[in-house]
Amino acid sequence: MKSYFRKDCRLCKSKKIEKVLHLEPTPAADSYLRKDQLNINQELIPLDLFLCSDCGHTQLGHVIDAEEVYLNYIYESESTLGLGDHFRKAAEDIFKKFEPNLGGLVLDIGSNDGILLSHFQKLGMKVLGVDPMPGIAEKASAKGIPTIGKFFNDEVANDIKKLHGIPSIICSNNLVADTDDLDSFVNSVKILMDKNTIFFFETFYFYLQIKNNVWDFTYHEHYSYFTIRPLIQYFHKNNLELIDVEPNLTKGGSMRCVVQLKGGNRKISDSVHTFLKLEEIEGFQTKEIFEKYDYKIQKGKSEYKFLMDKLKKDKYKIAAYGASATSTTLIYNYEMQNDFNFIVDDFKAKQGLFCPGTKIPVYDAQKIYEEKPDYVVILAWRYWKKIVDKNKDFLSSGGKFIIPLPELKIISKEDIV
């Protein structure tokens, strides 16, 4: 997979960027292999975070080709536990807070299977999605969510404007941080905005990621690690203004940002200043915050390895649960390559595949009942409660779950009601 080192800040274009966090190199995090691809040698790409000393933005140093990622993508929103309910609440909250005209158009960039748009549709809005992932536009359209199967750019934006007019709401969830040429993306969004339009996007909130120790969400699809101050400056430079910030715990720590054209029809919420101040108090945009972050990561790794060395020495049988992109970061950084022989996952599209780089096979969750491992490491640890609840029979039979993050713990049948 092609990659290159970005020498300037994505937001302010300053070349004053400095490496502040080293994570172990990995293959592209979601590049799971089919059986007929096992002879492919997957390149290990550096996974280091850099801080801009001019604007305070944090970003990955090495960038992979977005087309290679999204034209070979197998993620669907429905595979993420609880995301449907989250998007329902998000649509209702936006509808209540910003009161768009009923029947207006909602455009979702990177709409995937249309799950967010379906909730806006139920609220009486017209909807349109844009997503280049092979097959996903057809799947969403078949469910009643019209979707354009292309990468979003100024040409697509002008076509939408000509055919559908100016949207009331533009949204893009977990895509803005995955966009290398952010200027081009934002300029294309602006084509579709007037003073009544809001553009909202959900993205990982680096403030919460560090606070919650969610470092495994650092992987090559996620180029940017946003905080408020750099975003305010960036949008101001682009004749836009950040008017609302709403944090949530989706994917370990995210935020919904709402943007309008500068001088638009809505006031700037107090939430923008609130989170700006919180970041300043915690010392964000400084190298010291990364030193503390790295210490927590290394401490957690030492504790995990101590436990795993003991279990392997005692000949316990170990498996893992959760074949996600974050699993790749976790496996490489905790040196889990030889800790288990297989991984299980509930998402059918991942079953029968092999993990990036390590080529560990992925099976249906039924495999843990067939193989009867003594311990299962829950790599998808953010969902450990739902996974444990779904697999109480495994615990009842004497098996145990290991939760590696944010703090190491073991779950046995004595821990469930």
pTM confidence score? 0.91
First vs last Cα of the chain: how many Å apart?
47
How is residue 44 written in tokens? 């290990």
Residues 175 and 247 in one domain: yes
Residues 123 and 220 in one domain: yes
β-bridge partners, 148: 130
| CATH number of the domain within which 306 lies | 3.40.50.720
Residues of the chain predicted below pLDDT 50: 75-77, 79
pLDDT at 1: 73
Express each pLDDT in 264-278 by its tens digit.
999 999 999 999 999
CA distances from 78 to 66, 81, 145 (A): 22, 7, 15
Residues 329 and 217 in one domain: no
Tell how far CA 176 is from the center of its chain: 10
Residues 271 and 360 in one domain: no
pLDDT at 154: 97
Q: How far apart are CA 104 and CA 126, in angstroms?
A: 6
Residues 106 and 234 in one domain: yes
Sign of CA dihedral 76, 388, 345, 216: positive
Residues 96 and 225 in one domain: yes
Tell how far CA 139 is from the center of its chain: 22
pLDDT at 80: 53
Residues 6 or more apart whose Cβ sits within 8 Å of residue 270: none
Q: How many domains does the chain divide into? A: 2
Residues 331 and 265 in one domain: no
Residues 318 and 216 in one domain: no
Residues 317 and 394 in one domain: yes
pLDDT at 252: 77
Residues 232 and 331 in one domain: no
pLDDT at 248: 87
Residues 152 and 268 in one domain: yes
SS3 293: helix
Q: How far apart are CA 378 and CA 375, in angstroms?
A: 10
Residue 136 falls inside a structural domain: yes
Query: Could you say which of 256, 287, 318 is where a domain stops?
Result: 287
Query: Could you say which of 264, 287, 310 is where a domain stops?
Result: 287
Q: Are 204 and 272 in contact (CB under 8 A)?
A: no
Smallest CA-to-CA distance from 71 within 31, 13, 113, 11 is with: 31
Residues 306 and 224 in one domain: no
| CATH number of the domain within which 236 lies | 3.40.50.150
pLDDT at 285: 84
Is cis: bond before 406, omega within 30 of 0? yes
- Domain with 206, as residue range(s), is 77-287
Query: Could you say which of 245, 261, 287 is where a domain stops?
Result: 287
pLDDT at 311: 98
pLDDT at 77: 47
Residue 197 falls inside a structural domain: yes
Residue 32 falls inside a structural domain: no
Smallest CA-to-CA distance from 120 within 94, 147, 83 is with: 94
Residue 396 falls inside a structural domain: yes
